[in-house]
Structures are given as C-alpha cells and as structure tokens.
Amino acid sequence: MITGIIPLYKPLGMTSFDCISKMRHIIHQKRIGHSGTLDPNVDGVLPVCLGHATKVVDFLMASGKIYRGSITLGFSTTTEDLDGEIIAENYDFKPLTDKQIQTGLNNFVGNITQIPPMFSAVKVNGRRLYDYARHGETVERPKRIARIDYFKELGQSIIDEKTHTQTIFFEVGCGKGTYVRTLAVDFGKKFGIPAVMSQLTRIKSGGFTLDETVTFEQLEKASQNGELASLIYPIGKALENYVKINLTDQQWSRIKNGAFLRFNEVNSNDEFVLLCYDGVDRALYERSEEKQQYKPFKMFNLD
C-alpha cells in the first residue's frame, strides 16, 4: 500500500469525489481521501492522502487556505455562483470605488457567522442541503463560524458597460469550512447590491501551493513509468508544525505496541509530538498531564 500525500491540481468540471475515483484508477489503490471539498466550478489545490496518510486528513484541513477569485455585482443566483438561476437583479447601482471595496472586504476579517448555501454538502436532518434544494424544499440552515485571516482586492475592478455589472478581483486567506461563495454574496449585501462569486481558484491548502500541484496527466505518466514515489510527500508534510522526536531502537520496539513515553524521554512541553524512526514518521503522540506521559494519538507506518 502506498502511503503519503499528493497535492493534486483539481481541474474545473470535476467534483472532489470524481478526482478521488480517478486517482484510485491511476494508482490502483482504494485507500485514498481528500482534505477539503472543492465545487466543480472551482479549480486549484486539493491535497490527497494515500494509505496511512488518510489518518492526517484532519490536520491538512485544519491548516489555512488561500483563494483567488472574483465577485460580480449586479445579480445573484440560487447557487451563489454562475451555475445557478438568477434570483435577483440590480443593474442601476453606482459602481464601488477601490476605497469602498477594500473597506467592505475588511469588514469580514476575523471570526464571522455564515449561513451555508442551499446548494452545499452540509447535512441537516440526515440530508444534504443540495438534496433539499434540488427538490425545491427549504429547510432552516445552521449558522457557522468562519475565520477570515485577510480579504483584499487584487488590481482594478472591471465595469462592464454592456451588462452593467462590476467585477472585483480578490484574494482571501481563511480557515476550514469557509464558504467563499457566501462571502461574495454577503459582500454585495453590505452595499445593497446582489452579487455572485464569478470565479474561484484555491491557491494554497494543507501547506501546498498551486505551484506544487500535480496534474492527472503527470500522475498517469509517473504511474506508467514507475515514478509515482517522486510525486508523493511523506505524512510529516501535514505535521510540520509539530516537534519531531527521533526514536531509539528500544523506544521503537515499544511504540509499535502502543506504549506510552515518559516526559523525560520526550523532553518537550508541546501538546503533540511527532515520533520518527529510521527516517520515517511513525506516530503522533499527545501529552497527558494526568498520566505524566505522552500517549498515542495517531499511529501510522508501523510496518
């Protein structure tokens, strides 16, 4: 079984599940999982975990994400992007100045409350919201707290004299679970103007940037040539922020059986430590004040 992380470039038109399905076919392995869903009309960085690395998906998802995209003012849709049906229009608004735009974007920095779009995968009463939406049903959506690290304008906005719309280009750094579509719509609401997210690319996720991503074409070629290993990052890539402890032979023989480690063996005050042996990341251990030891939290690569 292959273990590690591949920073996949997710192309437009594919769901995240489509990507996993295609990767299983290329790599000939079932145990594969992604770290954060991207809508079909969004491209960019999609870290994919193979084998034992599926145990660190949560750590990849917890890291910050960065997106670049555009907001178009003048109309809004059922899906909050260009895929939906238009539900509101206003083409008589006064175009926003750069100062108004940046002030509006700054209003979202920090912890904000979002209501997920109806066309999303959030579950309510055991059903996905998009399932309710497709059947024309409405349901109360749970509010969520999202973290916005920064939200800034990129370059000059474009005013289209033919469509009477204004398109704003942006970059946003945010935490997991943030709906950028909803950010676009809520930005418009600040000015009383219907809005949609008109384009979006994820340029960073799980510590990987767009420049580090691998295309399906590259994967297929590497697989055919027996060079997949050159495209795979170790589990430790998802755990770079943790202190790394190199185990002795004696410690490794104990760790394989889930043994605890005394504080004086670890010599760290960190909540978590990454245990390594023979140059391979083997386990993540958690500090236990009650037991005065470090105990297993995630075990991987025990072969």
* Residues belonging to the active site: 39
Determine the 3-state secondary structure of 115 from DSSP. coil
Spell out the residues 6+ positions from residue 265 whose beta carbon is closer than 8 angstroms to its own.
Answer: 251, 294
Cβ neighbour number for residue 96 with a 10 Å cutoff: 22
What letter does residue 97 receive in the DSSP assignment? P
Q: Where do we find the tokens 């000939």?
A: 28
Question: By C-alpha distance, which of 222, 226, 268 is closest to 245?
Answer: 268
Q: Where do we find the tokens 């185990």?
A: 247
**Residue type, position 170, single letter:** F
- Determine whether 138 is exposed, middle or buried from the number of CB atoms within 10 Å of its CB (0-12, 13-18, 19+): exposed
262/268 Cα distance (integer angstroms): 10
Longest dimension (CA), the chain: 74
Tokens representing 238 are 């998802």
Total residues found in the chain within this entry: 303
Cβ neighbour number for residue 85 with a 10 Å cutoff: 7
Determine the 3-state secondary structure of 294 from DSSP. strand
144/122 Cα distance (integer angstroms): 11
Do the beta carbons of residue 225 and residue 119 sit within 8 Å?
no
72/100 Cα distance (integer angstroms): 15
